[in-house]
Structures are given as C-alpha cells and as structure tokens.
C-alpha cells in the first residue's frame, strides 16, 4: 500500500448528515439554485405572451436571454473573490435582492428596454447560486458527503427547469406572465427571510488555511526527503545534501 493512501478502520461508515444542518445550509442554497434555473428557462414559456401583449419581435426575445447570460457571466469574474472574502451566505443574500428586484421590474415592464434591464438584474441576482452553494457545502459538511450534496443540488436545478415547463404553463391558465413573475419575486423574498444558510464560524477561514499549509508542508517535506536521499526506515541522509533540504526532511519525518 502506498504511503499516500488513507487507512480506514474496518467497518467504518460514511459520515452522517444532521437534519438540522441540512435544513439550515443545504436546503436554502438548493432553493436558490432552483430559482436560478427557473429564471433561466422561463422565457421559453412566456415568449408568446410577450409577443402578443408587447409586440416584441423574435430578435428582441433573443436579446432578453442574452442580457441574462451576459450579466450572469460578467459577475463570475469578481464572484470568487467576494465569496472568499465575505462568505457565501452574505453574497447570495445580497445578490438575490437584485433577482427579486429584476423579477418585480419584469412584471411591471411595458417595453423592451425595461424587460432587458430586468433580465440583466436577474442575471446578476442568480449568478452566485451555484458557486455559493458549493462553497457553503465545503465549509459546513464532511468531505465524504460533498459529492452526494452536490448531486442533490444539481437535481434541484433540474427541478427548477421542470417547474418552468408544465407547471408554469398550467399556472398561466390562472394568471398572466406578469403574475407569474410577481410570484417568483415573492418566492425570492421568502428565501431571503429564511436566510441563505448560517454565517461562517469565526476563525474558520484561518483554521482552514492553517490546515492547508500544514498539509502542503508535509507534502513538501516528503518531496525533499526523497531529494535528500532519505533511505528507507533508517532515516540515513546523504552527507552531501543541502542543509535546508535536510532540515525540512527531518521535520517531515518527525510529524
């Protein structure tokens, strides 16, 4: 067995997921990702209504979709830095305010200009729904369950896309596209009141950095130990090795 392989006790099970933690972290972020996909695909259902009510041309419908994806992609550039600096809960909560404002503006718009602006705001508002969720899961859940949590998250996104197909089409029999967007805006506000997960524990970032540096130091020590000709289990070191390398290798053997 290689030296980098992890030794597990016989019969060890996968870490359990507390229900309270799932309700406080996974559920709010997954609801945000559900909304993100709902906003992304809803134009396909209401396109005919927009053409009939506002006289929008097919090219202008494409502009609505482009406005969403353009601002969505634009925010990804500083998003990673903001998530590391302020945490996923704060960033997603603030950005969802833009999504709610965009949905309200879309529901009252009477021209292509306001519709494009509304879709641009929505693109900004849901830009962090995926990355904030992934960041929060890593912070709050054991690494052995991250793959499962991410899979459930993506399933919620698929449900959001489904919700804007047959369910949204059925809802249009009872309301119009304005009422539909007003309802989604209300859902965003409810999500904000529930809070997008708990705040990051104080000092968690520092502990994570310390743990990462320690792991990097151990790996570096192993590499330098080989470079310095540390022989087998005896720890005999070649006399001609560099003194700095020797010190690092010796420190690694003592960890």
Between vectors from CA 194 to CA 27 and to CA 97, what angle results, nearest 5°?
Answer: 105
Please report which confidence band the pLDDT of residue 185 belongs to, taking 50, 70 and 90 as the band edges: confident
Nearest Cα residue to 54 out of 3, 113, 119 = 113
Both tokens assigned to 240 = 């001609």
Is the pLDDT confidence value at 15 over 90? no
The domains found in the chain, sorted by start residue, are 19-200 (1.20.1250.20), 205-254 (no CATH)
pLDDT in tens, 56-115: 888 888 899 899 999 999 999 899 999 999 999 899 989 999 999 999 999 998 889 999
Kindly give the interhelix angle for 177-194 and 43-54, rounded to the nearest 10 degrees.
130
pLDDT in tens, 18-30: 788 888 889 999 9
Is the pLDDT confidence value at 198 over 60? no
**Per-residue confidence (pLDDT) for residue 233, from 0 to 100:** 45
- Contact indicator for 224, 116 with CB cutoff of 8 Å: no
Both tokens assigned to 170 = 């059925």
**Per-residue confidence (pLDDT) for residue 196, from 0 to 100:** 46
Please report which confidence band the pLDDT of residue 156 belongs to, taking 50, 70 and 90 as the band edges: very high
pLDDT in tens, 199-236: 454 444 444 555 555 555 555 555 545 555 444 444 44
């Amino acid at each position: 067995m290689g030296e980098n392989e992890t030794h597990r006790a016989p019969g060890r099970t996968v870490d359990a997921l507390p229900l309270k933690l799932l309700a406080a972290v996974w559920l709010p972020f997954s609801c945000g990702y559900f909304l993100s996909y709902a906003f992304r695909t809803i134009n396909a259902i209401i396109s005919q209504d927009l053409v009939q009510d506002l006289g929008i041309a097919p090219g202008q419908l494409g502009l609505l979709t482009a406005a969403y994806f353009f601002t969505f992609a634009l925010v990804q550039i500083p998003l990673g830095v903001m998530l590391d600096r302020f945490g996923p809960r704060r960033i997603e909560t603030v950005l969802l305010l833009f999504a709610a404002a965009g949905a309200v503006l879309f529901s009252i718009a009477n021209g292509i200009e306001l519709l494009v602006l509304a879709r641009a705001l929505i693109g900004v508002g849901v830009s962090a729904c995926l990355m904030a969720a992934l960041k929060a899961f890593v912070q709050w859940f054991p690494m052995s369950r991250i793959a499962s949590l991410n899979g459930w998250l993506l399933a919620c996104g698929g449900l959001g896309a489904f919700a804007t197909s047959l369910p949204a089409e059925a809802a249009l029999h009872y309301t119009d596209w304005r009422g539909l967007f007003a309802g989604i805006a209300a859902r965003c506000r409810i999500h904000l009141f529930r809070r997008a997960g708990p705040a990051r524990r104080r000092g968690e970032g520092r502990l994570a950095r310390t743990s990462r540096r320690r792991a990097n130091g151990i790996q570096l020590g192993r590499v330098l130990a080989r470079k310095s000709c540390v022989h087998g289990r005896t720890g005999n070191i070649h006399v001609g090795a560099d003194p700095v390398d020797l010190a690092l290798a010796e420190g690694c053997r003592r960890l």
